[in-house]
């Protein structure tokens, strides 16, 4: 009896498989999309566009498109639209494949791939900038500043002039404030105010640097940054430290930022000036209590970074040093007065 049941299940599965393959067996063809184009629509932005194949049967089929980005960063997704926008660094080119997906009664069929690419940006080898590094800060007026530094390419002539642009969403701006190296080449750029929205989480900032020279074609360079990942977090404010019997108590306010206090974590640096012992404690709240030896003298500093709400940025600078404790030998004025009294 069990063997009969197994035979029955195998026959049922085979029948179901044949039924699911009927459209393919009936000679249904899946045609690739036509007029596939890649267009640079903004700095480091590509518009992928295509049209349905006019020979494709519509009937009871669901038509979607499988998109595969090959470079510069591999990515694969499907869409029912006939266009797609992708942000990517384009200095080394961009390439993508696309094909038609035909869905019918749970069966998926695919066409051949259609390929297209954008060639690398022109320019002589090793003339692009290197070691590009960018930092943002939120100002007291709740605007965002931007500071970028870089090194000239090894193959860049001494007369090379570099020019930096940033793009944030649909807005693009060229740098107006450069700092130069000893050969009078631009190697730093400052934007005291930008269009970067300090309240957004994980938006992309596009940096584009091109150049000019009498002796060589300078190859452009592009880099994408997550806006929160390059934020130099502001220093915690209104740090207060005091002693309560044998406990050290510290309180402070979150850094200048549109994000709530829950979005920050802190490092508490405690240095025992008598013993030389150091402690760095991680804290997720805005206050802290610690049992200490109050006969010693301590120096205290606090710094902040993002936590939970968005991508971690750069740690803030340390707050100004605050001293607490009773180690009188650390006070040179009191020590000198004591010596004078004894001498008298």
Is the pLDDT confidence value at 8 over 80?
no
Is the pLDDT confidence value at 125 over 50?
yes
Q: Enter the pTM of the model.
A: 0.81
Domain of 222: which CATH number? 2.60.40.10
Same domain, yes or no, for 48 and 132? no
User: Mean pLDDT, to the nearest integer, of 165-173?
Assistant: 97
What does the pLDDT read at residue 327? 57
26-40, 258-272, 316-330: least confident range? 316-330
Per the model's pLDDT, the better-predicted residue between 107 and 91 turns out to be: 91
Which among 150, 146, 151 is positioned nearest to 133, based on CA atoms? Answer: 150
Same domain, yes or no, for 133 and 190? yes
183 pLDDT band, cuts 50/70/90, is confident
Q: What share of the chain has pLDDT > 90, as a percent? A: 70
Structure tokens at 159: 């007369």
What does the pLDDT read at residue 293? 86
Check: CB of residue 208 under 8 Å from CB of residue 167. Answer: yes
Does residue 341 lie in a domain region? no
What does the pLDDT read at residue 7? 38
Same domain, yes or no, for 75 and 152? no
Is the pLDDT confidence value at 332 over 90?
no
Is the pLDDT confidence value at 145 over 80?
yes
Same domain, yes or no, for 102 and 130? no
Is the pLDDT confidence value at 41 over 70?
yes
Beta bridge partners of 208: 165, 222
274 pLDDT band, cuts 50/70/90, is confident
pLDDT tens-place string over residues 67-106: 999 999 999 999 999 999 999 999 999 999 999 998 877 7
Does residue 225 lie in a domain region? yes
Q: Which run of H or of E encompasses 247?
A: strand 247-253
Does residue 27 lie in a domain region? no
Is the pLDDT confidence value at 304 over 60?
yes
User: Mean pLDDT, to the nearest integer, of 250-272?
Assistant: 94
Please count the residues of the chain.
Answer: 344
Q: Last residue of a domain, which of 118, 144, 164? A: 118
| Containing structural domain, residue 282 | 240-324
Is the pLDDT confidence value at 9 over 50?
no
Same domain, yes or no, for 244 and 165? no
User: Mean pLDDT, to the nearest integer, of 318-322?
Assistant: 95
Check: CB of residue 303 under 8 Å from CB of residue 338. Answer: no
What does the pLDDT read at residue 27? 64
Structure tokens at 187: 């190697």
Number of structural domains (the chain) is 3
User: Mean pLDDT, to the nearest integer, of 325-344?
Assistant: 47
Does residue 3 lie in a domain region? no
Check: CB of residue 114 under 8 Å from CB of residue 128. Answer: no
């Amino acid at each position: 009896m069990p063997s009969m049941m197994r035979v029955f299940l195998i026959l049922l599965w085979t029948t179901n498989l044949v039924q699911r393959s009927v459209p393919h067996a009936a000679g249904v063809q899946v045609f690739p999309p036509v007029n596939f184009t890649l267009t640079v629509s903004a700095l480091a932005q590509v518009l992928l566009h295509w049209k349905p194949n006019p020979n494709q049967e519509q009937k009871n089929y669901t038509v979607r498109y499988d998109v595969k980005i090959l470079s510069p960063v591999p990515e694969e997704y499907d869409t029912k639209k006939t266009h797609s926008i992708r942000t990517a660094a384009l200095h080394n080119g961009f390439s993508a494949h696309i094909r038609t997906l035909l869905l019918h009664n749970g069966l998926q069929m695919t066409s051949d791939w259609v390929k297209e690419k954008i060639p690398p940006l022109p320019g002589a080898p090793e003339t692009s900038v290197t070691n590009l590094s960018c930092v943002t800060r939120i100002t007291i007026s709740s605007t965002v500043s931007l500071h970028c530094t870089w090194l000239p390419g090894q193959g860049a002539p001494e007369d090379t002039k570099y020019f930096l642009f940033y793009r944030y969403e649909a807005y693009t701006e060229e740098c107006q404030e450069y700092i130069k190296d000893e050969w009078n080449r631009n190697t730093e750029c400052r934007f005291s105010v930008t269009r970067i929205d300090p309240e957004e989480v994980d938006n992309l900032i596009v940096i584009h640097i091109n150049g000019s020279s009498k002796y060589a074609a300078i190859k452009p360079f592009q880099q994408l940054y997550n806006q929160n990942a390059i934020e130099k977090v502001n220093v915690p404010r209104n740090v207060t430290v005091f002693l309560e019997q044998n406990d050290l108590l510290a309180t402070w306010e979150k850094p200048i930022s549109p994000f709530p206090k829950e979005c920050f974590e802190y490092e508490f640096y405690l240095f025992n000036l008598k013993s030389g012992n150091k402690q760095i404690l991680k804290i997720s709240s805005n206050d802290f209590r610690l049992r200490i030896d109050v006969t010693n003298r301590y120096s205290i500093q606090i710094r902040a970074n993002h936590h939970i709400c968005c991508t971690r940025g750069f740690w803030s600078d340390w707050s100004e040093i605050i001293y607490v404790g009773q180690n009188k030998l650390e006070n040179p004025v009191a020590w000198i007065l004591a010596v004078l009294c004894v001498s008298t």
